[in-house]
Amino acid sequence: MRLNPVFPALVTAAVLTALLSGCQQEEAPPAAQLPQVGVVTLQPQAFTLTSELPGRTSAYRIAEVRPQVNGIILKRLFTEGREVKAGQQLYQIDASTYEATLKSAQASLQSSKSLADRYKLLVDEQAVSRQEFDEAQAKRLQAEAVVQSAQIDLRYTKVLAPISGRIGRSAITEGALVSNGQSSAMAVIQQLDPIYVDVTQSSVAMLKLRRELASGQLQKASDNAARVKLILEDGSEYAELGQLEFSEVSVDEGTGSVTLRAVFPNPNHDLLPGMFVHAQLQAGVNSQAILAPQQGVTRDLKGQPTALVVNQDNKVELRELKADRTIGNQWLINEGLNSGDRLITEGLQFVKPGDEVSVSEARNVQAAKPTLAATSGKARGQGE
């Protein structure tokens, strides 16, 4: 059997074609794979700007109990550390000398009054002169004033509570001598319900807040602008809301701060004067805020906050930011990022500005909750 002479030629051509095809496949470089990054698309949202300021509690009213007459203390009529009512008797001073003085004054008044009444009848008959009658009337008025003064001194022997509140320890005991005008108080009464909370805010922060409100960057937080929350020393939140009363009209030259005063209900006396607390004040509402996750914000060698974003051509851009507050796990961006920007939060270490990237939704950032930020957002200054 003879082979067709064309068949070997066809086999040889097929082998050569396969060899050439293999060489071309080996020589062609593999297609480059784009770096994968996770992004968060930024959207404006509203939140309430809250400032947390340190402060201390102070009594709503304080009254120092002092004697207004001289004498020996006979009785103490209250229990230390308990509540007292306004007008309640606290001490009894020996009243014997004041009672005697009052009786003497009343006797003199009776004599002066009788003489004045008798002269009144005689002056009409011209039995006494008009001058003598006027002198008798003046003596009667003087005697009435002496009686009134003696009655006041006698009343002051009962030392009464000037205000309602909690009374502290007694500085004197029975048998002690007290005097009118003494410098030391017998006891101190403090009204604790309601109670004041005095906090301090830097004048720089106050000026910035006023500028933001004036420019329209922030809006007033409506009726809740004067509401204040309180964080206690142990980190717990006080159950009652307070009301901002006033701000000091001058700046402390030593600290450069302004004092703000809030008043809080204190029905259970959980707050005591002198406690260190933190007050959360609602300053204003930013209706178009840009909040960036902290994972996407870094700092350069100069400490300037920066971020990497993906533009419309899927290329990386470097942005310099202005961000001076954190709200939870996010930065409040003043400048540098806009609505719709795709902020890189995953894969930052594998890319640099100018690189073309493959984009996917970031998985290391929780979804933003504007309603939560708007009601309970906790804003802190940079570095806090």
- What residues make up the domain containing 354? 39-58+192-381
Region of 145 (left: φ > 0; alpha: ψ -120 to 50; beta: rest) is alpha
Same domain, 198 and 313: yes
Same domain, 344 and 215: yes
pLDDT at position 32 is: 59
pLDDT at position 5 is: 52
Query: Would 12 be classed as within a structural domain?
Result: no
Query: Would 18 be classed as within a structural domain?
Result: no
Same domain, 266 and 373: yes
Query: Would 149 be classed as within a structural domain?
Result: yes
Q: Residue 212: pLDDT above 70?
A: no
pLDDT in tens, 112-150: 998 888 888 787 777 778 888 888 889 999 999 999 999
Same domain, 244 and 278: yes
Is 260 exposed, middle or buried (CB count within 10 Å of its CB: 0-12, 13-18, 19+)?
Answer: buried
Work out the pLDDT band at 379, boundaries 50, 70, 90: very low
138 φ, ψ (degrees, to nearest 5):
-65, -40
Query: Would 24 be classed as within a structural domain?
Result: no
Query: Would 22 be classed as within a structural domain?
Result: no
Query: Would 11 be classed as within a structural domain?
Result: no
Same domain, 210 and 296: yes
pLDDT in tens, 143-188: 999 999 999 999 999 999 999 999 999 999 999 999 998 999 999 9
> Which one of 9-23, 32-46, 355-369 scores highest in mean pLDDT?
32-46
Q: How many domains does the chain have?
A: 3
Query: Would 204 be classed as within a structural domain?
Result: yes
Give the bridge partners for 320, in sequence order: 306
Instruction: Return the residue matching tokens 């947390």.
Output: 52
* Share of residues in the chain with pLDDT > 90 (%): 43
Same domain, 88 and 109: no
Same domain, 168 and 215: no
Indicate which CATH number applies to the domain containing 132: 1.10.287.470
pLDDT at position 371 is: 36
Same domain, 81 and 216: no
Same domain, 125 and 274: no
pLDDT at position 13 is: 53
CA distance 319 to 363: 22
Chain-centre distance for alpha carbon 191: 21
Work out the pLDDT band at 221, boundaries 50, 70, 90: low
CA distance 250 to 253: 9
Same domain, 89 and 101: no
Please give the average per-residue pLDDT across 290-316, as a whole number: 90
Same domain, 345 and 319: yes
Look at the pTM and tell me if it is higher than 0.75.
Answer: no
Tokens of 309: 């974003």
Mean pLDDT in the chain? Answer: 82
Indicate which CATH number applies to the domain containing 175: 2.40.50.100
Angle at 299 between CA 294 and CA 302, to 5 degrees: 155
Same domain, 264 and 371: yes
Please give the average per-residue pLDDT across 28-43, as a whole number: 77
pLDDT at position 45 is: 84
Within a 10 A sphere around the Cβ of 357, how many other Cβ atoms? 19
Indicate which CATH number applies to the domain containing 205: 2.40.30.170
pLDDT in tens, 330-347: 888 888 899 899 999 998
Taking alpha carbons only, the member of 326, 343, 371, 379 closest to residue 45 is 371
